[in-house]
Amino acid sequence: MDAETIDPMERLLAERACERLILDFVRRLDLGEPSTVAELFTADGVWEWPDGDRRIQGRDALRDYFGSRPADRLSRRMCTNILVTITSPATASATTYFATYRVDGHTSGMVPPRPPVNIGHYEDTFRKVAGSWLLATRTTFIPFAGPTDRIG
């Protein structure tokens, strides 16, 4: 079965599952336990940034990477223009635009507004593993970026 012969309801469910993964990723980074982001990837999952030659592969390496996030970091990511394309019954791809607001040194209270630290897009691939959709790869492109401010 190829992408063109997928039942429309199955396509819709797959698209929604992939969209939810994208949103769960940023929710876990911003509001949850960052190291749990690794659970959203396949066992051999990869997150990479072509600019800067950063590549993290495998759940353990991803868990360590996300778990090393500073405890005093406050961040919020805004995601939009999520476009998921189902490529087969068990694979998909997506493009998502994002803006990241972030400061280090946060202990409590509100932070005065500031511009986003970075704006870019993700290019993701997904695989259905044992009935669940997971991120196989995430490539991050950041054409607009600046330093993370330290407050306090």
Identify the CATH number of the domain in which residue 52 sits. Answer: 3.10.450.50
Tokens representing 143 are: 């054409």
Looking from the CA of 149 toward its CB, the CA atoms found within 13 Å total 16
- Tens digit of pLDDT at every position of the chain (152 positions): 677 789 999 999 999 999 999 999 999 999 989 999 999 999 999 999 998 789 999 999 999 999 999 999 999 999 999 999 999 999 999 999 999 999 999 999 999 999 999 999 999 999 999 999 999 999 999 999 999 999 98
β-pairing, 91-104 vs 118-129, is antiparallel
The alpha-carbon radius of gyration of the chain (Å, integer) is: 16
110-147: string of b/e by CB count within 10 Å (b at 16+)? Answer: eeeeeebbbbbbbebbbbbeeeebbbbbbebebeeeee
pTM, entire model: 0.93
Could you give the number of structural domains in the chain?
A: 1
Range(s) of the domain holding residue 144: 3-150
